[in-house]
A and B are shown apart, each in its own frame.
Chain A
Amino acid sequence: MTTRAKAKADAQRTLALDILNHGALALVALLFLFPFFWMVSNAVRSNAEVLAIPVRILPNVYEWGNFAKAWSELPFGRFFLNSMIVSVSVTVITVVVSCLSGYAFARLKFPGRDQLLMAYLGTLMIPGIMLIIPLFLIVNNLGMVNTFQGVILPVAFGTFGSFLLRQFFLSIPLELEEAARIDGASRLRILVSIIVPLSMPAIGLLSLFTFIGQWNNFLWPLIVMTGSDNATLPVGLTYFQTQQGTAWNFIMAGAALSMIPGVILAIVLQKLIYNSIALNAGMGGR
C-alpha cells in the first residue's frame, strides 16, 4: 500500500511540477511576445493616442481601418512584390552559386584551395556598412542603379553559403559518389543528383536565412532603388516618416503586415528550421 501510494504521490508531484514548469515558461513566452502585442495595439489607434499620456494599454477607439489605410496609402502590394522578387532571386542565386563552390571546396583538389577557403572565411568579418559606397559606385558603373539586378547581384555572392555547404558536403560519405564516378557520371551530375538531394537541411538553412536577411534588408535597397515604385517593404515603411512628423500608427500597421510572411514561414517551416539549425549545431564545432 505504502509503496503504491508513494508512487502515486510521486507521480502526482511530478505532474504538478510539470504543469508548473510549462506554465512558468508560458508566462515568460507571453512577456517575450509583448512587443508584438504593442505593435498591433499601436497600429489600431489614432496617431495622437500612440504618444498619449498616461499610457493606454488598449486603444480608446479601435481603428482597424489603419491596416487597410496603411496598405492603400502606399503601394504596399507593389512593395510586397518587390521584396519578394529581391528575396527570392538572391536566395536562388546564393544557393546555386554556393552549391557549386561548396562542392569544389569539399571534393575537388586544386592548388591554393585551403588558402582560398581561408580568404572566404576572412571576408565574413568585414563590417558590411563599409562596403556600401564602393559597391554603389560599381553598380553605377554597370548601369544598374534603380534596377532589380542592381539590388540583387551585389548581395547574392556572400561567402557564408560556400563555407556552410562545404562543411555539410564533407559529412556525406565519399562512397556514395564513387559508384557514380565509376559509371562515368560528370561532377555536375553527381552534385545535382546525389549531393544536393542529400543536403536539403543545409540548403534549407541557407535559403531560409538568405531569404529572411534580404526580406529585412534596409540600407542597400534604400540606396540603389531610386524610384519610389521600386522600394522594398522596409524602405516603404519609412515613407510614413515625413517632414511634418511620423505616422507611428501606420508604421506599426505596416510593420505588422510586413511580418506576415516571416511568421507564416516560421510556423510552416518550423520543422525545417529546427532540423537545419540542429544540423548547424552538429557541425558547429568542426
Chain B
Amino acid sequence: MSPIDRRMLYHINWPLLGLAALLFAVGVVNLYSASGFRVETGQTMSSFYQKQLIWGAMGLVGMVAFLFLDYRHLKTLAWPLFVLAVLLLLCVPLFGKTIYGAKRWLDLGFFNLQPSEIAKISILLIGAKLLARGSRPMGWGELILVLLVGLVPAGLIIIQPDLGSGLSVLLLLGGMILYRGLRKGVLRVLLVVGPLLLPLSWFFLHDYQKRRIMTFLDPSTDPLGSGYHINQSQIAIGSGQIWGKGYLAGTQSQLRFLPEKHTDFAIAVFGEEWGFIGAIILLSLFSMFLYQIFVTASVAKDRFGSYLAAGVFFYFFWQILINMGMVLGLMPVVGIPLPFISYGGSAMVVNLCLIGVVINVSMRRFVFKRS
C-alpha cells in the first residue's frame, strides 16, 4: 500500500467529486418527489429516498477504500476477478433465484447478488489490462483476443436471459477498444460487416424484446403496455415545458399516471417538475461529470490508468445514453437505470466505487519516477 501524502490529496479530482455529490443530491431530492405511491401494490414508498441515502453512505465507504488501494494493484486483481465473475455467472443457472421470470440473481442470504454487475467491473479491469499492453491502434490479432475474453461473460449474461446487461458489457468493452483505436483496415471491415450483422440478431431476440422494438417504432400498437410507458413519460416531460411545474407539483407523476417513476423513468419526474431549464442543468452536470473523467484519462501517467478511466467513462456514458434515450422516446425500452438519479442500491455502490477508482488514478499521477 503506497502512502497517501499531502500531494496526493492536492491532486484529487475535486471537481469530479463535487459533481458526483451534486448529482447524488439531485437524485435523492427527485426520489423524494417520486416517492408517492407505488403503482403496482398501492404501498407507499416514501422510504425509497431514505434507502438511497443509506446506499450512498455505503458507496462512500467503498469509494474511500478504493482511494487507499493503489489502482495499479488492480492490474494483478484483473484475472482472478474475471475467473470469479465467470464462475458466479455459471452458478446462476444452477442456483439462481428467479425474479420476474429471469434467473439473474444469486441469493447470498443477506442480499441478492447480481453477478452481471461483477462481470462489468471485471471486464473493465481486464480490458484496461489487455489494451494497455500496446500503444498503437489494434490489429486483428489483439482485437480478436480481447473480444473473445469479453464474449465469455457477455454470452453467459445474455442467455440468463438479460440482454440489457449482456449488451452493456459488450458496449463497455467496445468503447474501450475504440478508445485504444483500430487499424484503418480493421475499422473499414467492421464498418461494413457490422451493419450487415445487425438484422441477423433479430432472430435471437425474445418475443417480448421484439415487441418492445416494434412498440418503439410504433407506440400506438401497444398503448397500454410498453407503449404506455413511452407515451406517459413523454407527456410528463413535455408538459413540464420551459420552467417546469415546480417541485412536488408534477401532475403526471403525482397522479401516478407514470409507471416505474422511481427507477428507470425517474428522469421523467425531474423533467416534469423542473422543465427545460432544469433538464439542461442536469444534462450539463452529467456532461461536466463525464468531462472530468475524460480529463483524468488524458492526464494519467500510465496507460493502464488512462484505460481504466476511459472504461469508467464508457460505463457511465452508455447508461446515460440508453436511459435518457429510452425515456425521451429515442430508443426502445430497456431496463437500464440512470446513474445517481434512479433508485437502486447495488448500482449506487458500484457507481461510487468506480468514481473512487478514477480519483485514485488522478491523485497518483505524480507518484511516478521521472524516466
Q: Do A and B bind each other?
A: no
